[in-house]
Structure 1
Amino acid sequence: MITASKWFWNGLWNYTNRGFEKKKQHFNENDLNQDISSKHFIITGGNNGLGFQTSLELAKLGGNVHILCRNQEKGEQAINEIKDKSKSDKVHLHLCDVSIIGSIKSFVDDWKKQGNSVDVLIHNAGVMLPNREETSEGHEKTFATNLLGPFLLTKLLMCDDNNSGSGSGEGAHKRVIFVSSGGMLTSKMSKDFEFKKFTTNKNLKWDGMRAYAETKRAIIYLTELFSQNYQSFNSYSMHPGWVNTTGVMNGMPLFYKMTKSQLRTLEQGCDTIVWLAVSPTVEDHSKYSGQFFEDRQIVDKFIHNSHTESSQEDINSLWNYLNEIFLKSC
């Protein structure tokens, strides 16, 4: 309760639209004044919410934007809207369900056959489910979407010899951005990565918000692990603050009702994602890779005395578990 209270009061100061406008006064807008016309950006869940806005902003800046979406009709609608608003035709749709290993493999195979490279991979897609569900491949869907999918896409797209930077010089590092959530600050990573306890103990009640927060906490560790194990690209995690999205409205109705007037716009919420994607400021691997960002600044990954830290053994177990799935399926 104390941790949740600290988080809420800190959020009122920092995660709201007013918090953003306050910190915006210290932004260097030249950070976004970059030539990204030759760069390719992949955004998962780019057809709505923060993913849509991120795609739109990158298209406005002149980048080659590739949206991953599982629904063709919704994807095409988003593509057309982004092209119209950005006045850019360098916006592309790729059908991919990031919760399904087979769909991820199919997309990556097609991507590589076309000879494409990735400069920035943005993991935006996420789900908060009212009930525990499993994918057609047998993985719990919150885990599969929020954690396994980003891991597999990063391994397949960024961790091979053909897509590794030299590690030196300006612009040498490719980038992976994991969109986490401020809510993860109240949670500890579950050691039951796929929440199997809910299938063995019928007395347990599923809490979709908690499962979401726990996978978003795990994303913070995943960012660090990729940074430690791969020097050829930078990995960053961030949270967008409290943003007015349909996901918040539907998944957290009481919170939405309490904070609606103070929630950030999509433009405010995606600002740090775009900044991490294009700014030269965060190029230094040793200084910035593996870090957690809020409003263009490195911030703490834990609330003081929240006891939400995991042991190194548990963090290693996460890495090993994900790699086992990768080796079995890919």
Structure 2
Amino acid sequence: MPELPEVEVVRRGVERWVVGRRIESVQVLDPRSLRRHEAGPVHFAQELVGAVVSDAVRRGKFLWLPLAAAPGAAPRDALLVHLGMSGQLLVKDPELPDEKHLKVRLELSERPGTPSELRFVDQRIFGGMVLDLLVPTDDGAPGGLSATGAPLVPARAAHIARDPLDPAFDADRLHDRLRRRRTGLKRALLDQSLVSGIGNIYADEALWQAGLHWARPTDTLRRPETHRVLEAARAVMERALAAGGTSFDSLYVNVNGESGYFSRSLTAYGQAGRPCPRCAAEGRASLIVREQFMNRSSYRCPACQRTPRNARF
């Protein structure tokens, strides 16, 4: 599944190529990709045609395009895009052949030197699109990372917490909430109602960088430790952004069809049996191990991420 940096790479591409353009026509090739839009494909197309994409916004792994009636007008609703396991947003020239798993095509107003189609491609059909009403944010801050910073968020995404790359993210507030929970640290980091955008890959990377075990009880965390793991998560994501994302699956590509390659720089996730870079640098011999976690895998160094006595697995 695309992680936060992948979605941010897509958001930046959409911001560059799509924002400010009018939607001229909509073609739905597979209604299953609109299953979250209860009013159906006809209503979806009717509502989109003529709308102007006023921004591209991301909170965690949620991406949405606010829609206005005219350039400069205030948006009332948004096109919310779920990438799911394999969803892609591609900006393409109409002359180029359709992708095998093309689901929805939006024709955009002409802009010199810019492709005029926004295509939603999804092989596994876990993603989709839906039109949703924009509502005010509960804290009055911008809905998410965007150019305009409007304090609006789609109603379906209002329950999602802010992510560590969000300028309005409050680390101290999260620490207080973690201290009230009786759960393991990684479980909490994956809880999108507490902090969004940290998936399995980046949780392992952040925990390794912070030197904390994934089963550390959250109610025992000290404030500096919470800040350390959040700063680590932010640093890992920023490195991934600089590298274009983390692609283990050829299905993930950005809006120009280019895959990310941050997977080459991972220090913990997927590195079972390899030396821990920190231990090696300090002259110790320790190998990264793979452990079972919530029906998936978790990776850590047993020497510098020691199991706490009161671990919550």
- Same fold, TM-score > 0.5, yes or no: no
For normalisation by structure 2, the TM-score amounts to 0.26
Q: Structure 1 or 2: larger helix share?
A: 1
Higher relative contact order, chain-length normalized (CA < 8 Å, sep 6+): 1
Which of structures 1 and 2 has the bigger CA Rg?
2
